[in-house]
Copies of this chain bind each other. A is one copy, B any other.
Amino acid sequence: MRSLILAAAFTVAASAAFAAADEPIQPIQPAKAANPAMVELGKKLYFDPRLSKSGFISCNSCHNLSMGGTDNLKTSIGDHWQEGPINSPTVLNSALNLAQFWDGRALTLQDQAGGPIANPGEMASTHTLALSVLQSIPAYVAEYKAVFKSDKITVDGVTKAIAAFEETLVTPNSRFDKWLKGDKKALTSDELAGYELFKDSGCTACHNGAAAGGNTFQKMGVVEPYKTTSAAEGRVAVTKDEADRFFFKVPTLRNVELTYPYFHDGAATSLTQAVDTMGRIQLGKSFTKEENAKIVAFLKSLTGDQPDFKLPILPPSNDSTPKPTPFNK
């Protein structure tokens, strides 16, 4: 009896897997934290504004896990309220990206994590200062030692821990994923029609894979040029190859209902506008109002499980901790 049930379960699972395998978008897999202690340390660091010069800006300020892993601003606010040059991409499912930042200048989450800390326009600290802050806090030193077997906190360890935490920030179980896995009632007929339109129109040429994006660099403005006031040049800034001008990492569409505004310049305030622009400049298509609405309905089915953990409590500074200097230039 038991083997019969198992065999039946296997058949259902296999057929669902087969169905999903035919689709250009694949289900998000739940995270397996290889090192829970490292993840816990990384979570604290992710929420700790003492990694910034001001003591006010943490990773979570611009990649806010209460808000789809973004700040929901056109471009971000940096130290001294500086206006950022580019839209903050979501940290959710960022482990699935082929590289980090819009231009892919960091190959890994660990490479990425060190950037904003020392960027004068973002957290405006230095790695030396941030490390001396952490090293002064006994609870951080103890937690670090338990994870990395060393008393000396390094940038390598800090960024490794932040990356380990970020790797857990995947969002399985969206309604679309349930549909992919065989639950045919998980999507409405409009959402399903939107998905078919999304595929038939060629959107999946770029937005494919588990993250529905994030796995290639593509030119912004294939059919007609994209008009923007943003100075961002895209991938050419990394490769120095003019052929890569205005090539950006294709953003993930996972949780896209939460990650507004859209595009590298944050210029599209709504999904309707984003779908319309993408259709025109990437595919040479003008979606009707009804088509656009169906695609938007599909996109909203991509919202998965959001971060689910307790607010971290940070260990306090002490007399020897370097003080934040929010109002010094």
Contacts and interface: CB of A to CB of B under 8 A. Distances in A.
Contacts of A326: 73, 77, 81, 83
Contact of A310 (B81, B269, B310, B316): B310
Nearest to A305: B313
Contacts of A318: 270
Contacts of A308: 310
Nearest to A323: B269
A313 B319 contact: no
Interface string A48-79: 11100011100001001111100111000100
Interface string A168-201: 0000000000000000000000000000000000
Nearest to A79: B81
B316 A257 contact: yes
A179 to B, nearest CB: 21
Contacts of A316: 67-68, 257-258, 260
A221 interface: no
Contact of A311 (B68, B260, B310): B310
A272 interface: yes
Interface in A100-152: none
A318 to B, nearest CB: 8
Given A72-B55, A311-B307, A327 B272 contact: no
B309 A311 contact: yes
Contacts of A47: 66
Contact of A71 (B48, B56, B68, B317): B56
A31 interface: no
A13 interface: no
A323 to B, nearest CB: 6
A324 interface: yes
A24 interface: no
A139 to B, nearest CB: 12
A62 to B, nearest CB: 9
Contacts of A270: 318-319
Contact of A314 (B67, B272, B312): B67
A10 to B, nearest CB: 35
Interface of A: 47-50, 54-56, 61, 64-68, 71-73, 77, 80-81, 83, 257-258, 260, 269-270, 272, 306-314, 316-319, 323-324, 326-327
9 contacts: A56-B77, A72-B317, A80-B81, A81-B81, A257-B316, A258-B316, A269-B319, A308-B310, A311-B311
